[in-house]
Amino acid sequence: MERSLLERVSGSAVKRYISDTQVWGDEELERYTVSSAYTCLAKHLRGIPHVSFDLLWKASAFPNVLFTAWRVLIDRIPTREALVRRGAQMESTTCVLCWSEEESAQHLFIECVIAQRAWSLCQKWLGIVLVQSNEIKPHFESFLCTQASGKQKLVWTGIWPDVIRGIWDQRNSILYNQGVVDVEEVIQMAQLKSWSWLKHRTKSFNYSFADWTINPVICIKSVK
């Protein structure tokens, strides 16, 4: 970064009678915008193409749910393995859900036997069969239903972050509140979060929570 700064400065000429001004990046208007800053930062995140971010942030889910899923996608969620990697002192890095493997984001949300059961229950609830990748990004992208309409696709995609948040909340409950592993509770919370979002944010959605849990596909088809 220092070298880059010196290269930029060396190519500039100082002018005596012109006031200093602040400019941002290479934009035509040289004005700062949140979207331009986000784009700039996203370029430095390896392994996650822009399409994954766009797909996530447009998904039908609450902001705190999307934020948790985003941290998982870029491997910035504070799992035990991540905390130790950043210098934290911990007695154990073992996954608090299965107590058999190191608790990395990859393991906790995808590879853990508890997580796999949760995803299986999710597919059973949705009435679909997906090829479950062992990598986080392809696993997320598999929830994009290409046969659905625009808004319906966003509902399908939003279910993945809800399950991710359910797994994370249960992990924290076990770790900090003496909770117990309950795979069905993970899916129930995902169902509740997704239904609540649709109920309050989509005018064409008039189904009860019971309808949503029994036949989600019919409910999603009503979204326009």
pLDDT in tens, 151-179: 898 999 999 999 999 999 999 999 999 99
Residue 43 pLDDT: 66
Give the total number of structural domains in the chain. 1
The whole-angstrom separation of Cα 141 and Cα 118 is 17
Does 103 fall in a domain? yes
Residue 19 located in a structural domain? no
In a domain, 11, yes or no: no
pLDDT value of position 18: 81
Specify the long-range contacts of residues 103-111, CB closer than 8 Å, at least 24 apart: 103/79, 104/79, 105/72, 105/75, 105/77, 105/79, 105/81, 105/136, 106/134, 106/135, 106/136, 107/81, 108/79, 108/167, 108/171, 109/72, 109/136, 109/164, 109/167, 109/168, 110/134, 110/135, 110/136, 110/139
With respect to residue 134, please indicate whether it lies within any of the assigned structural domains.
yes
Centre a 10 Å sphere on the Cβ of residue 36 and count the other Cβ atoms it contains.
Answer: 15
Domain that holds residue 133: 47-221
pTM (2 d.p.): 0.79
Asked whether residue 8 is assigned to any structural domain, the reply reads no
**In this model, does residue 68 exceed pLDDT 70?**
yes
**Residue 163 in domain:** yes
pLDDT band per the 50, 70, 90 thresholds, residue 99: very high
Examine the pLDDT at 49 and tell me if it is beyond 70.
Answer: no
In a domain, 112, yes or no: yes
Residue 180 lies in a domain: yes
